[in-house]
Chain A
Amino acid sequence: DQQVKQNSPSLSVQEGRISILNCDYTNSMFDYFLWYKKYPAEGPTFLISISSIKDKNEDGRFTVFLNKSAKHLSLHIVPSQPGDSAVYFCAASWGTSGSRLTFGEGTQLTVNP
């Protein structure tokens, strides 16, 4: 039972354009959502998060949108840069304990110069 799904295994965009990565979840108990970025041969690093009481959180070029009624969140990267090329994992949790964190399968983003 995959409670967090990233349906696009890969995404390719041009430098300077917007990248939109999508994530769907099924568990209504999730109240905290995070995005992690992973480069090859490195561990994932935290990127941005959003609480279920909000519908948008912005940090520089990165914005996460949450649509609770649709159980959907998205990560927008504007403008995209070649250094953003990485695997992006969506994760969802209820509470802030990592033991309740469920990860999606990941989306490989490639930003072409």
Chain B
Amino acid sequence: NAGVTQTPKFRILKIGQSMTLQCAQDMNHNYMYWYRQDPGMGLKLIYYSVGAGITDKGEVPNGYNVSRSTTEDFPLRLELAAPSQTSVYFCASIVPNTGELFFGEGSRLTVL
């Protein structure tokens, strides 16, 4: 099925560990995004990309890094995980000229 695929769905990390959340889309969308959702809060933009090789910071980029080597893939890297990064992470791409985001199912990350 076409869409946005995120892995892993769940992960527990220890403080100071690093990991990469994977995101892939097969809709040939240029624009891709990473959001985090904390309980009782809306989605906050971490990083986004307007195409392969181009990335930019969103609202809450600290503690994260991204890369975009292909149109399909947009991994999110957490370096030196902290408890404040416990959250649900959503990757999304945008349907061109609509403003409508197409989200993955989310990755729940817990940092202990």
Contacts and interface: CB of A to CB of B under 8 A. Distances in A.
B74 interface: no
B41 interface: yes
Interface stretch (A12-20, A53-61, A74-82, A97-105): A97-105
A99 B45 CA distance: 8
A41 interface: yes
Interface in A1-55: 4, 9, 32, 34, 36, 41-46, 49
Give the size category of B's interface with A. 20 to 34
B40 A32 contact: no
Given A98-B99, A101-B99, A89 B31 contact: no
A49 B100 CA distance: 8
Interface residues of A, number: 26
A93 B99 contact: yes
Interface of A: 4, 9, 32, 34, 36, 41-46, 49, 89, 91, 93, 95-99, 101-106
Interface of B: 4, 31, 33, 40-45, 48, 50, 56, 58, 90, 92, 94, 97-106
